[in-house]
Amino acid sequence: MIVGVGIDVAEIDRFARSLERTPELADRLFVPAELLLPGGERRGVASLAARFAAKEAVAKALGAPGGLRWRDAEIRQEDSGRPRLEVRGTVAARAAELGVLAWHVSLSHDAGVASAVVIAEG
C-alpha cells in the first residue's frame, strides 16, 4: 500500500549559487557520505541538487510535517548506482507513525534541473 508520494525539482544553477553564497549549507543539508562519490571525490552540484530534491520529496511523502531534519534523510548509492533512502531520527519517527515499511526513490538531472520522486510504502 502506498502511504505517500513526493516529488520535487531543484534548479541546478540556483542550488549552486546557494552553496557558494552559504558554504556551510552543504553540511547542514547532507551527511558526509552524501557529499562524496564512492572513490572519495566531491560529488558534483547536479548530483547534490538531486539529493536535495529527494529530501524535499521525502518530506512531501510524509505529509510535510514541521520539524523534520535534513540530515535524517540520507540518499545512499548502491554499488549498482541505484539510489537508496536511509532514514533516522525525525524522519524515521514520522515514517513509523504512518506505517512506512519501505522507500522507493528515483533521481534525475538534465537541462539544468534536478528532480526526485519518493514513494513511501506501508
Residue list, annotated binding site: 8, 56
Residue with grid cell 514513494, as numbered in its chain: 119
Nearby residues of 84 by Cβ (< 8 Å), 6 or more positions away = 75, 76, 77, 78, 103, 105
Q: Which residues are annotated as a binding site for Mg(2+)?
A: 8, 56
**One-letter amino acid of 63:** G
Q: Compute the half-sphere exposure of residue 89: CA atoms within 13 Å on the CB side of its CA.
A: 9
